[in-house]
Amino acid sequence: MERSGFNVVLVEPEIAPNTGNIGRLCLATQSRLHLVKPLGFSLDDRKLKRAGLDYWDEVKLRLWNSFDDLQRAQSSETRYFFLTTKAKYAYYDVMFHKGDFLVFGRETKGLPESLLAANIDNCITIPMHGTRSLNLATAVAIVLFEAVRQQA
Ligand SMILES: C[S@@+](CC[C@H](N)C(=O)[O-])C[C@H]1O[C@@H](n2cnc3c(N)ncnc32)[C@H](O)[C@@H]1O
């Protein structure tokens, strides 16, 4: 689908300001933002727009009813990387290609175990110490900008 940049997928995001921040990151990197429902907020939420500043309306946004629907709409060659604290490989061990989909989980629960188990070889992590996980928008920034850096 989107070959010109990266694709950021948020599965069932819950916190509007995180998604607003991530919208800004997507705009800054010419990436598309995919939101998989249900969302924990309304797309009219003022907090979403405040975190995205004036830019929210410019974000290339797609909404999906399920992750299966998203996958069915992409070509069979599409590559997906699933971000989780429980993975063997680090994000910096991957050679990212434009058009890749970077998939992130919800703030309270992460990605569904079934999705991780079905894609075990494409699960990647941001190595860290002393905390259970990073903030969602922080995790997106780290991986997305690494993917962009590799294209330079
Ligand atoms: C706040 S975290 C979810 C925390 C959840 N309790 C868990 O254990 O998965 C939200 C999302 O950010 C991403 N994330 C946060 N820290 C990460 C890390 N160190 N490595 C990879 N992804 C991370 C993952 O996609 C995760 O689903």
Tens digit of pLDDT for each residue in 43-75?
887 776 776 667 788 999 999 999 999 999 999
Q: Report, as an integer, the average pLDDT of 110-139.
A: 97
**CB-based contact 67:115 (threshold 8 Å):** yes
Q: Report, as an integer, the average pLDDT of 92-99.
A: 97
Please, which residues have CB within 8 angstroms of residue 60's CB and are 6 or more apart in sequence?
2, 26, 31, 32, 33
The residue length of the chain stands at 152
Report the residue among 11, 81, 85, 101 best suited for mutation to probe ligand 1: largest number of ligand atoms under 8 A from its CB.
85
How many A from CA of 106 to the centre of ligand 1? 8
Whether 106 shows a pLDDT value over 80: the answer reads yes
Q: Report, as an integer, the average pLDDT of 26-42.
A: 95
* 3 state DSSP class of 103: strand
Proportion of the chain above pLDDT 70, given as a percent: 95
Q: Is the CB of 143 under 6 A from ligand 1?
A: no
Pair type for strands 101-104 and 61-64 = unpaired
Q: What is the DSSP letter of 41?
A: S
For the whole model, what pTM was predicted? 0.95
State how far the Cα of 29 lies from the Cα of 41, in Å rounded to an integer.
24
